[in-house]
């Protein structure tokens, strides 16, 4: 029982990781890909944060009566990782907007089709 509970956070982490990766690979829509990437990165946040928490621990401020503290470092790290994740997401969405302007679509297969059509017409023309 205790082992199962102990592994619970890992199970969730792995689920999120695999689910995110699956969405990135399986979905052709660029926005959905970004969503997948977001979920994928979230799994890492959990991986770092969960072990930092001790049952019964408090915020790491020295005060009389408290002897068990949670580790603050993972939180700081993940704060950075979240910032990075937001930046990635923003950049990815910006690119999606530009792609939409240039191709009129954000579906991967339609974009590919247009590129192939370009290459084909170029070969015929030249």
Partner 1 sequence: MSIAAQLPALQVALPLLAAPLAVLLRHGGLAFAVVTAAAWAAFAVAIGLWLQVGQLEAGAAISYHIGSWAPPWGIEYRVDRLASFVLLLVSGMAAVVLPYSRASILREIPRDLHYLYYAMFALCLTGLLGITITGDAFNIFVFLEISSLSTYVLIALGRDRRALTAAFQYLIMGSIGATFIVVGIGFLYLMTGTLNLADMAVRLREVESHRPVLVALAFLTVGISLKLALFPLHQWLPNAYTYAPSAVTAFLAATATKVAVYVLIRFYYSVFGDSLVFHDLPLPQIMLWLSLMAMFGASFVAIFQNNLKRLFAYSSVGQIGYITLGLSFASVNGLTASVVHLLNHGVAKAAIFLLIGGIVARMATAANRDAVPMLRGVPADAVSPEPTFDRLAGLSKRMPLTCFGIVIAGLSLIGVPGTAGFVTKWYLIIAAMEQGQWWLVGVILLSSLLAVAYVWRFVEVAYFRAAPEGSEKNEAPLAMLIPAWLLVIATLWFGLDTSFTVGTALDAAQELVKNGR
β-bridge mates for residue 58, sequence order: 69
What is the Cα–Cα distance from 89 to 27, expressed in whole angstroms?
17
CB 96 within 8 A of CB 30: yes
Decide whether 59 or 91 has the Cβ nearer to partner 1: 91
Of the two residues 40 and 65, which places its CB atom closer to partner 1 in the complex? 40
Which spans of this chain sit near partner 1 (rule: CB under 8 A)?
17, 21, 24, 30, 33, 37, 40-41, 44, 47-48, 51, 73-74, 77, 80-81, 84, 87-88, 91-92, 95-96, 98-99, 101-103, 111, 115, 122, 126
Residues 98 and 114: their CA atoms lie apart, in Å, by 15
> Could you tell me the smallest distance in angstroms from the CB atom of residue 56 to partner 1?
20
């Amino acid at each position: 029982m205790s082992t199962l509970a102990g592994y619970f956070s890992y199970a969730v982490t792995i689920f999120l990781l695999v689910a995110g990766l699956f969405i990135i690979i399986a979905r052709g829509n660029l926005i959905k890909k970004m969503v997948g990437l977001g979920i994928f990165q979230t799994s890492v946040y959990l991986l770092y944060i969960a072990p930092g928490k001790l049952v019964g621990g408090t915020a790491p401020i020295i005060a009389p009566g408290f002897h068990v503290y949670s580790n603050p470092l993972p939180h700081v790290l993940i704060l950075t990782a979240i910032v990075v994740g937001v930046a990635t997401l923003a950049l990815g969405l910006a690119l999606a907007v530009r792609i939409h302007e240039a191709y009129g679509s954000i579906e991967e297969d339609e974009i590919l089709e247009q590129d192939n059509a370009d290459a084909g017409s170029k070969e015929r023309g030249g």
